[in-house]
Amino acid sequence: MQFQWYPGHMMKAKRQMQEDIKLVDIIIELVDARIPFSSRNPDIDELGKNKARLILMNKADLADTKKTEVWNAYFKRKGYFVVCIDARRKNGMKLIQHEIMEACKEKIERNRRRGIQNRPMRAMVVGIPNVGKSTFINSYAGRACAKTGNKPGVTKGRQWICLNKNVELLDTPGILWPKFEDQTVGLHLALVGSIKDEILNTDEMAVSLLKILLRDYPGAIEERYGVKEKEETEVLCGIAENRNCLKKGNELDYTKAAALVIDEFRSGKIGRFTIEMPKEQEN
């Protein structure tokens, strides 16, 4: 299955971002803590060179804690400021203001030397679709000022949001990139919901997900679904049986079982998983 989704508004958003980048002091990039590599748009590094950078590893509550620590250290070695957050529950949010000020320390000092006092740092919030940008902004601001939704493509335009005397945020639509060179990246994006489900093959996605979880987290599937961990297609059949996923005539409904597995992975009901690691990316 080929993974690709690049609607017209994303192209427009990228062009707008190129114009707006000169207006900001720092780029705040949200990534999904379950797929920290795949959820980074490679265009952002090119657009944001020479800008201070803060990476927020969102949905950390759904990710493997130990692997999140490895990714945190990896990004810091690359020169980024990093905070792990759960924007929905506001975990980690108190650390962000300090990291923004640290990342912008040189700019603040230059402003002070030029006699510019108390000018707020302007931050552009970027990230792929459905990574939680609007939820983060609303949690950080303490009010509903960005439209949210548990699906990609909710934010269509940009907006400035004044948080306090120190920080202003520029919200931007989530953008992917025109072509995934590695289809594993496309798979990972599809699994966490950053590509519209309507254009995907749910059965194939679930089999691919089961293959990953059976390899990296042995025992997790058996514990959740009571299915002996064999080959992934057999496991999907077992899940359909155990969860009574049936069509008319009591025939097993594998698509229903596949959708169940993907939904429970996304919601964290199966467990806390991270499905890629830094060493794999460097190799």
Residue 9 has pLDDT above 60, yes or no: no
Rounded distance between C-alpha atoms, residue 227 and residue 270, angstroms: 13
Average pLDDT rounded to a whole number, residues 245-268: 96
Top-confidence residue, 43 or 101 = 101
Confidence class for position 156, pLDDT limits 50, 70, 90: very low
Residue 116 has pLDDT above 70, yes or no: yes
Beta bridge partners of 126: 29
- What angle is formed at CA 19 by the lines to CA 110 and CA 155, rounded to 5 degrees? 110
- Please state, rounded to an integer, the average pLDDT across all residues of the chain: 87
Residue 226 has pLDDT above 60, yes or no: yes
Tokens of 30: 């949200």
- pLDDT score recorded for residue 182: 75
Residue 260 has pLDDT above 50, yes or no: yes
Cα four-point dihedral sign 162, 163, 169, 171: negative
- pLDDT score recorded for residue 198: 85
Digit-coded pLDDT (tens) for 20-32 = 888 899 999 999 9
